[in-house]
Structure 1
Amino acid sequence: SVDGAVQALDASNGRTLWSVRDKKLRWSGGPAASDDLVVVGSLNGQVRGFSAVDGSERWHTQLSSEVICAPAIADGVVAVRSQDGRLFGLDPADGTQRWVYEQTVPVLSLRGNASPLIGNGFVFDGYDSGRIVAVRQTDGAPAWSQVLSAGEGRTEVERLADSDGRLVLDNDQIFATSYHGQIAAFYADSGRPAWARELSSFAGLAVGATAVVVSDADGNVWAFDRQSGANLWKQEGLLHRWLSPPAIVGNYAVVGDLEGYVHWLSLADGSFSARERVGKKPIESAPVVSGDTVYVEDASGRIAAFRTQ
């Protein structure tokens, strides 16, 4: 949390397993976790690794600027994105830098970054230029990049093209969204487009067996056919509620909103199935799904678990 605390909770009952705090640091963007390591970035650019068992510090390292999105851990690398456009590959054992990839940051952009995504031998990330980039996991060398949004317009605001939404890798395809741009699917090994549709989103998407669900910039929730990109349905009942990225659990799409409500939508047609309130603060991050349980955190750090019937 921004008050310097990192906590681990028992997933079954919410009981605190361990908690550590450094009041000098303001953690941001959420943690990344593996079986034995938790990694968190801070607004002053420091990244720390903690034991997932007891919260003891394993290592810390200083990056070039603030970190406002969650790192990623997988396949023997920790990937961390800093606000100045750098993507770092760190050693999970001691936090030392293995490589760094740099992209130019536009003069004006939305505040936020896509969290890196690791898989298929690559680290994927979205940039404020509207590009999706894949670099080699081993050394950070560029593999491919694709433009989701060209940022057209006469003013800098009209040219905002950030690809800040959550990326998803599924069945060798990478799914991504951008602001003032598109939702698209690319083949992960080459970047070759599979399909694309015009849509503006800064939140991101979720991918199920047959559908891709996305929250757009206006508060609509859309579902697209996973294979072809054809529109399946659109739910307009949450307009201007500043939706979180969606999650998919069972036969439902789940989104949070700016008033702390969590909404369950039918995957079949987008109709509302249920609604619960976590608190009065916004829900900005994607719900986390484990089995039939959905975990939701609001902007105050309040966490709730819901079991889907």
Structure 2
Amino acid sequence: MRAACRLLAGALALALVACSSGPDRPKPKPFEAIAAPIAGKQVWSQRIGSIDFPLAVAVREGVFTVAGSDGTVAAFQADTGREVWRASVDGRIVAGVGSDGRFAAVVTREGELVVLDGGKLLWRKPVGTKVVTAPLVAGERIFVLGVDRRVIAWDALDGRKLWQQQRPGEPLTLAQGGVLAAFKNTLLVGQGPRLAGLDPLNGSVRWEVPVASPRGTNEVERLADLVAPLLRQGDSVCVRAFQSAVGCVNAERGNLQWSKNVGGTEGIAGNEQVVVGADASDRITAWRTASGDVAWSSESLLYRNLGAPQVAGPTAVFVDGEGTVHWLSLDKGEPLLRLTTDGSAPAAAPMVSGTTLLVATRNGGLYAFRPE
């Protein structure tokens, strides 16, 4: 199982080290020839320092905000790559970055939530729980999700703790970015295999929907935590449950629209037509957003250690374990464009601002591409 090395055992957060990248893993499938290529190029690059945590790239008002493990947080203009600001939080980062365009928030290895205002240190507070999911910044509040399922809200301006909510958790959780997102006036939180809608003012539960039914003979096999990134499309929120399912929830009504049993460890992307994601063998599938029916599947990138995807216009974009960026047609899954980065795996799902797509790599490279 590809992500077994990302497991955490209870409150002790003991990392397991079994991964599936050993000698028994099949060799990657050779690249297919691109029959009908599209044009595209790298338009700028920057560096942030190595990234060894589950990074979330924040995109607001034409600016990408990123963070490196050494404590660097920086913002760049999406169209030109110009550095808007760069700061250090004086500590190694283990979760981040969340931003609403003004405030940026990360969590350090020492367990502190650090908030910046326009690149200037505003405040820092102890979290009190281990965190791997990027904080959410919304409505002048900072929300943090702990690996113990605890959700904590702070006032963004002065760091006052507003509320804390904790639900019963399973013995094992993932050291992988979980679901923490905003939907209208509801806070969306992944609670194991369930998607919960909370009141952001006080943390009370408005609704809760199971996306997957965990199966297996032991705690590892029954892990089905919801993983980021998710897809928000109208009133629908679509998400992957680790190694178990992909499903969509009506977040306005709080009911399950559909769920399909399918393996896979990375988040999904999509639009109003399809939801796309790769399974543990890197077989890519597109499900129809409205019904969950399979629209197409592709084995062109088998065993290439694909990260979470992004949808950009009429294409689905995946980055493989060697940093190669692949554009596939969204209607059929055919390869359209292939460009390279620095040879290291993706640190986050690609992010889009306007016509610019940003790829962040484990080696700390930031590569902006623009298909034509």
User: Partner amino acid for 1:262?
Assistant: V
Q: Does 1:96 align with 2:163?
A: no
Equivalent residue for 2:94? Answer: 28
Post-superposition CA distance 1:169-197 (Å, at most 9, x none) = 22111111112322111111332111221
Q: Does 1:154 align with 2:217?
A: yes
Q: Is the 8 A contact 2:231 2:268 kept in 1?
A: yes
TM-score, structure 2 normalization: 0.78
Q: Does 1:40 align with 2:73?
A: no
Distance in 2 between residues matched to 1:51 and 1:64, nearest whole Å: 23
Q: Does 1:136 align with 2:203?
A: no
Distance in 1 between residues matched to 2:179 and 2:111, nearest whole Å: 15
Q: 1:175–1:273: structure 2 CA closer, same or farther, 3 Å change rule?
A: same
User: Partner amino acid for 2:83?
Assistant: T
* Deviation of 1:303 (Å): 0.3
Deviates more, 1:98-107 or 1:265-274: 98-107
Q: Is the 8 A contact 2:148 2:173 kept in 1?
A: no
Quote the sequence identity (%): 28
The alignment partner of 1:282 has SS state of coil
* Deviation of 1:253 (Å): 0.4
Q: Does 1:224 align with 2:287?
A: yes
Q: 1:217–1:87: structure 2 CA closer, same or farther, 3 Å change rule?
A: farther
Any residues of structure 2 matched to 1:200-211 within 5 Å, and which?
Answer: 200-211=263-274
Q: Is the 8 A contact 2:266 2:278 kept in 1?
A: yes
Distance in 2 between residues matched to 1:22 and 1:293, nearest whole Å: 28
Q: Is the 8 A contact 1:293 1:306 kept in 2?
A: yes
User: Partner amino acid for 1:95?
Assistant: G
Q: Which structure's relative contact order is higher, taking Cα pairs within 8 Å and 6+ residues apart? A: 2
Q: Does 1:279 align with 2:346?
A: no
Q: Is the 8 A contact 2:115 2:122 kept in 1?
A: yes
5+ residue gaps, structure 2: 1-67
Q: 1:209–1:190: structure 2 CA closer, same or farther, 3 Å change rule?
A: closer
Q: 1:286–1:265: structure 2 CA closer, same or farther, 3 Å change rule?
A: same
Q: Is the 8 A contact 2:227 2:239 kept in 1?
A: no
Distance in 1 between residues matched to 2:126 and 2:174, nearest whole Å: 24
**How large is the Cα RMSD of the aligned pairs?**
1.7
Equivalent residue for 1:74? Answer: 138
Q: Is the 8 A contact 1:219 1:238 kept in 2?
A: yes
Q: Is the 8 A contact 1:224 1:232 kept in 2?
A: yes
User: Partner amino acid for 1:151?
Assistant: P
* Deviation of 1:16 (Å): 2.6
Deviates more, 1:30-39 or 1:260-269: 30-39
Distance in 1 between residues matched to 2:339 and 2:354, nearest whole Å: 19
Post-superposition CA distance 1:175-230 (Å, at most 9, x none) = 11112322111111332111221112321111213111122232122111111111
User: Partner amino acid for 1:230?
Assistant: D
The alignment partner of 1:132 has SS state of strand
* Deviation of 1:281 (Å): 1.4
Residue number among 122, 133, 136 corresponding to 1:58 in the alignment: 122
Distance in 1 between residues matched to 2:364 and 2:131, nearest whole Å: 18
Deviates more, 1:207-216 or 1:230-239: 207-216
Equivalent residue for 1:237? Answer: 300
User: Partner amino acid for 1:82?
Assistant: G
Q: Does 1:9 align with 2:115?
A: no
Q: Is the 8 A contact 1:10 1:16 kept in 2?
A: yes
User: Partner amino acid for 2:80?
Assistant: N
TM-score, structure 1 normalization: 0.93
5+ residue gaps, structure 1: none
Post-superposition CA distance 1:63-95 (Å, at most 9, x none) = 012321211122332221122221112212122
Q: Is the 8 A contact 2:324 2:338 kept in 1?
A: yes
* Deviation of 1:11 (Å): 2.2
The alignment partner of 1:109 has SS state of strand
* Deviation of 1:22 (Å): 4.0
